[in-house]
Amino acid sequence: MGAKSGTDIKNLALSPVQTTRAYSFDISNRPSTSPKSSDDVAQPEHDPYLVESRSSVSAPPAANNNNTTPIYLMGNFYPPSPTQWTDFQRDFTNGLIWCTYRHSYAPIKPSNFTTDVGWGCMLRSGQGLLANALAIQFMGRDWSRPVPGDANWEIYVRILSWFLDDMNAKSPFSVHRIALLGKQLGKNIGEWFGPSTTSQVTKALVHNFPESGLGVYVTTDGVVYKDQVEEAATLKKKDGFGHLLILVTIRLGIDKLNPIYNDAIKTTFEFPQSLGIAGGRPSSSYYFVGYQGDDLFYLDPHHSRCVVETKELSEYVAEDFATYHCEVVRKIDINSIDPSMLLAFYCRDRSDFDSFCERVKEMNTRPGMGSSIFTIGEKAPDYGDDEGHVLSVADEEDDDLELIL
């Protein structure tokens, strides 16, 4: 994921590139406990209102010392070699955007929440999926964290500014907007999201911000339908099919992941279109980004950082966004993850989507693969009663933003 020449920031939406101390919080902001739905990952059993974050650089785990097992990181392949772990960790730290809990931001009105600690982990995992999709769209798959003066610096700053925690028009993907859109889908502010809610909110956020230049397709029945993809990939696009985020929400078991799906899950990280998986384990949401053997590598949103101040783009320095990159590589055995998850893929154009479809078909017919986790279909069935509904959010500067789902 080396640096790549960037796009003129003025044409950002039109020309995408072809140990810190612990924090404690007022418990009056705790969300009320609600029953877990089939959509949600299990709720935390520990007290999440005391979160310690660490910034030490991780050494290769013992299991990686022999460098004999391949590593995949969102479509990037690291073959066994003496430099495998060093190369992988460099790209893990500098080529991924890490979204975590934040605190001390303006209240998410009409609530009094000034932090999402304890309830926002899936919201942050969803932010991570979207942020990395946009980074790839505008800086290329081989992008690496820039510094002031680099060709991609202004684009990088603009993208991250979209995710700052503020209810204004400059931050269309803030936790404030995510929480408020979730409220219209039955999730109270301060309540955990599941993969389905996260996917629908992501679709609404992107639709309400055309400057992203991105289309979003969501499927909840395990089938990616080509006719619906065509519609999503060309909606509001002058240049036809392009720049598509595909979100697949699935549940692969009842209380725990059925191991028959393990190989298929891991194979998705090998796709060049991979954006990882927003999922988790039975007490937390994680953003899974790659694998080695039976270990999944992930970005952990359960580390609270102070909110980044909103200011003019030209005023930001590299240190402002240091907490959006993770230096510690974490892993979990695939058999320990929750069965509910949100798979994400980015297709740059029609050719890329066709390649994605071929990879899905090949994965599902590969000998010894086990059971398929999703498939490709030509045309979606017509149920006749899906009239959709509207999600809208008003901010401090704009009129209502809305989306018919």
pLDDT in tens, 333-346: 999 999 999 999 99
263 catalytic per annotation: no
198/202 Cα distance (integer angstroms): 6
5/83 Cα distance (integer angstroms): 26
CB 190 within 8 A of CB 180: no
Could you tell me which residues come within 8 angstroms of residue 99 by beta carbon, excluding any fewer than 6 positions away? Answer: 124, 125, 127, 128, 131, 163, 287, 299, 301, 324
Q: Which residues of 7-43 are buried (b: 16+ CB within 10 A; e: fewer)?
A: beeeebbeebbeeeeebebeeebbbeeeeeeebbbbb
Question: If you ran DSSP here, which 8-state letter would residue 235 be given?
Answer: T
Q: Which of 199-203, 281-285, 321-325 has the lowest mean pLDDT?
A: 281-285
Q: Which of 60-64, 191-195, 220-224, 385-389 has the lowest mean pLDDT?
A: 60-64
Q: What is the pLDDT of residues 239-271, one digit of tens each?
A: 789 899 999 999 999 989 999 999 999 999 999
C-alpha distance across the termini of the chain, in Å = 35
Q: What is the pLDDT of residues 104-144, one digit of tens each?
A: 999 999 999 999 999 999 999 999 999 999 999 999 999 99
Q: Which is more confident, 168 or 67?
A: 168
Of 302, 303, 326, 347, which residue is the catalytic one?
302
Mean pLDDT, rounded, of the chain: 83
Of 116, 300, 338, 395, which residue is the catalytic one?
300
Tell me what the mean pLDDT of segment 184-205 comes to: 95
Of 91, 116, 121, 243, which residue is the catalytic one?
121
121 catalytic per annotation: yes
350/46 Cα distance (integer angstroms): 45
Longest dimension (CA), the chain: 58
CB 275 within 8 A of CB 129: yes
166 catalytic per annotation: no
Q: What pLDDT sits at residue 9?
A: 36
User: Residue 349 pLDDT > 90, yes or no?
Assistant: yes
* R_g over Cα of the chain: 20
CA 288-293-295 angle, 5° bins: 35
